[in-house]
A and B are shown apart, each in its own frame.
Chain A
Amino acid sequence: AQSVAQPEDQVNVAEGNPLTVKCTYSVSGNPYLFWYVQYPNRGLQFLLKYITGDNLVKGSYGFEAEFNKSQTSFHLKKPSALVSDSALYFCAVRDDDYKLSFGAGTTVTVRA
């Protein structure tokens, strides 16, 4: 089965600083990787996906992610974090039967 791991429960950054949320994956075959964000009392919102093509994927709200095959990583990045980016972030991988397998989530806190 495919899986992802998010090694950090929490990430804290100051507003204006770069933000990185880490994700590593374990798959057989080509990975289909995703990032979702969950704001308080809201559903899971899609940020971006990697299916194939360029290793640098750009998504919503200024986020991007870099697919690194040699390191089996798909880290989420934002060059300059905003307080409004504070949320719970989930990495996910498409499983063999087309359902999503999620990581445990990383809580991002951006302080003013």
Chain B
Amino acid sequence: EPEVTQTPSHQVTQMGQEVILRCVPISNHLYFYWYRQILGQKVEFLVSFYNNEISEKSEIFDDQFSVERPDGSNFTLKIRSTKLEDSAMYFCASSATGVGYGYTFGSGTRLTVV
């Protein structure tokens, strides 16, 4: 069964550093998403991406965040200058359609900012 692959599984970084979280979506999917889950809290939407541009972003997704699809397979989330409150599990997801079902989620990257 096709999978969404995320790397690394765990990353520790110092406050103020830049991090890039990587995702390889399912190859024939066209819609890509990042969600995050702060420990003990609900999963929250960050951003959706289609046709090489952001289609929607949440209030959380401020100027410190950016997404990119640098080649035909990878989908990355960059946090420019990490803060302690960015510590969370970050999930990538992809779907063949943009109608809000048929998501496949990756296993997540646990980001710890110290």
Interface, chain A (partner B; CB < 8 A)? 32, 34, 36, 41-46, 49, 51, 90, 92, 94-95, 97-105
Contacts and interface: CB of A to CB of B under 8 A. Distances in A.
A51 B101 contact: yes
B28 interface: no
Nearest to B47: A99
B33 interface: yes
A32 to B, nearest CB: 6
A99 B91 contact: no
B15 interface: no
B70 interface: no
A90 B107 CA distance: 15
Interface string B70-114: 000000000000000000000101000011110111111000000
A49 B101 CA distance: 8
Given A42-B107, A43-B108, A99 B100 contact: yes
Nearest to B48: A99
The 10 closest A-B pairs by CB, nearest first: A94-B100, A98-B100, A43-B107, A44-B105, A102-B43, A43-B105, A99-B45, A104-B42, A102-B42, A43-B106
Interface string B23-52: 000000000010100000111110010000
A44, A94, A104, A105 pick with most chain B CB within 10 angstroms: A44
Contacts of B41: 104
Contacts of A51: 101
Nearest to A34: B101
Given A43-B91, A46-B103, A98-B98, 19 more contacts: A32-B100, A32-B101, A34-B101, A36-B105, A41-B107, A42-B107, A43-B106, A49-B101, A90-B43, A94-B100, A95-B45, A99-B45, A99-B48, A99-B100, A100-B100, A100-B103, A102-B35, A103-B42, A105-B43
